[in-house]
Amino acid sequence: MTADALGRIVLLACVGFGLVTAWSLGLFELLADPEETARLLRELGAWGYVLYVVSFALLAPFFVPGAAFVIPAAMIWPRWLALALSLVGAAGAGSVGFAFARFLAQDWVAARIPTRLRRWDDALALRPVRTVATIRLLFMFFPPSHWALGISGVRYGPFVLGTVLGLTPLVVALTWLGGEMMDWMQEQSAERLWWIAGGIVAIALVYRVLARRRDRRAPEHLC
């Protein structure tokens, strides 16, 4: 057995062990009960920080939106602490997705990555940190962005630095505004929330049209 094959087996075993452990501890059920999750994390003290970061890193690349971790963190801990933990968790999630694509599932990922994410290779070779940060600003926690970077030629160091730089504005906004937004939504009528949801859908459709136009341009024109 080659060292590369052994490394893949070890990585797969670690990820599998982490997911099985999370399931056996009832983490998936806890995520469905925000109040119970908050209580547990507070009671665990420093171990709550570890549980939060590990859960973020293991689940966000595959199952749970990153915002579902960042916003509750701001409601559990002081904001400066929530921001630090969320950035570490986001970097961990990116790293898990990166390693999954690079070492375990290159062919599977390559067949499923959107074309727009596969057109950045030249820019990644020339300006890796800047390009990774730009991809993060555009695609945020979108799991295929982790995978696309994993099968690209970018090295891990620039990947992590660009990930932290690119996600910082989003994490700051979610940390400082997420709690207030949740409180505000609870005060709104169902009709108003439907109008807001319709507006978001309209914005998403406009963004999709603009993204298709942007895909026709070379990546270096975007960086």
**Tens of pLDDT along 20-50?**
555 555 555 545 555 666 777 788 788 889 9
Check whether residue 111 and residue 218 sit in a common domain: no
Q: Do residue 164 and residue 175 come from a single domain?
A: yes
Whether residue 183 is found in the same domain as residue 195:
no
- Tell me what pLDDT residue 86 has: 94
Reported for 215-221, long-range contacts at CB under 8 A and 24+ positions apart, including other chains, are 215/115, 215/116, 215/119, 218/119, 218/122, 219/119, 219/120, 219/121, 219/122, 219/123, 219/131, 220/122, 220/123, 220/126
Task: Kindly state whether residues 66 and 103 are assigned to the same domain.
Answer: yes
Does 205 lie in the same domain as 108?
no
Which stretch of 24-38, 148-162, 191-205 has the lowest confidence by average pLDDT? Answer: 24-38
pLDDT digit string, tens, across residues 72-130: 888 888 889 999 999 999 999 999 999 988 888 777 777 777 666 667 777 888 889 99
Identify whether residues 211 and 176 lie together within a single domain: no
Tokens 């119970």, residue located: 36
Give the chain's domain count: 2
Mark whether 126 and 79 lie in a shared domain.
yes
173 shares a domain with 193: no
176 shares a domain with 202: no
Per-position DSSP letters for 105-136, written without gaps between them: -HHHHHTTS-GGGGS-HHHHHHSHHHHHHHHH
Q: Is 77 helix (H, G, I), strand (E, B) or coil?
A: coil
Q: What is the pLDDT of residues 48-65, one digit of tens each?
A: 899 889 889 988 888 778
What pTM did the predictor assign? 0.66
What's the chain's length in residues? 223
Range of the domain at 211: 189-223
pLDDT per position as a tens digit, 116-125: 666 777 788 8
